[in-house]
Structure 1
């Protein structure tokens, strides 16, 4: 036992052996903080370690036992990367769909006219993942059909192949806005990243009799016109999804009304201001936000008004 070993060392004067406190990349010791105070570690001590997600010990155990010996830690504590190998684009491999261990080398066969990066035919599982992307790219520099996107499409008829430096334009469906460049380019057999089409509007009003918002512009060519309207789409008024909608219930609770109208609700674009006023015989509370406040990503910081003190109250 460790106690007997220490006793014999003291009697026979055998020099005591130590191990450096184990520092394991991508791993953690059981009760590490408890044992770190005893660094360095006396020979004969036993520790257990586990590995981070996507890493395993050589024994593939959740907790792996290591012992401090005269020659150092046994076995050497380490965590090895796990690499999942996908199905190869424009090629194939017997490893597709399998998980490999750090140090494994995988053979890839590319289709005619395609090769791996740098004309390699193998990929290695490293600590950071696969040494090169596991996909075959065109050696001619040509690209296949442009990648599809949700809620959008290209503006031209798709071709089976595109020569190098070709450019394709995308457009989004109605009520969607584009994020990123609308054009992609074929470079070294690959398309640049396509844009995304994100939801732009949501429908709030579909009846023109509801168009009572202020400010009103007389003699407008539209049935009604207001500061907060964004687009007339198929005879339906639509607004940005990050717009604010004033709440009559919250305004009642805060003793305020809209400055330009007593009742109803209005819709405000994010970044625009809305003005309130205190109810009759009320004044802004000391800690209240300003009566003129901004809509920020669908949120309004409502001001608060408190009742004025009456000269006739007791």
Structure 2
């Protein structure tokens, strides 16, 4: 038995339609834009009846996905066409590390924005120092500043920077060296360049001495150019001239 017109389907059409079909003949359905075939696209005439017809289902995407580290950019819509892309931006403390878009592909959202946490917490603690603008969390590129307490002096960069989740190297606070006239008198020496009663010198600074008039070096020459080492100075010594 022949078959009559193939059944109509919602949001789809039959290609090459005619009024009558013989046993075994096939027709093929196509869906309108924004829809796709669900089932077999072609049906067959089987003794006066058509085989099971397919459906055209929407290829739109609904319900934008949400992400803990990214937020949607733009105006939200009820639905998005297949092939359409939407963009996201990373939240504070995060940095984009790849694509910021996702795409609707046949009713499914494909991809996700890749956001990397580049914030810093807990600036490194430095002995004998305090931190200015100390707080729980810092953005990438933000800095903290260290200040030494008391008579300690800073060695290194006073600012430490958050770079991609890691702090740069912190400074150190070293005790300064105090050189008094009493100590120089004991060793029969004086400062080569100046003669204050008290001098403060930073760690790793060089200090140069000479013998007082009427005295000669007892310790080797190199000891007369000494270095302040965390509050300590090794003094050269001079002995009194004779004859």
- The TM-score normalised by the length of structure 1 is 0.29
- Kindly indicate whether structure 1 or structure 2 has the higher relative contact order, using CA contacts under 8 Å at least 6 residues apart: 2
> Which protein is richer in strand relative to its size?
2
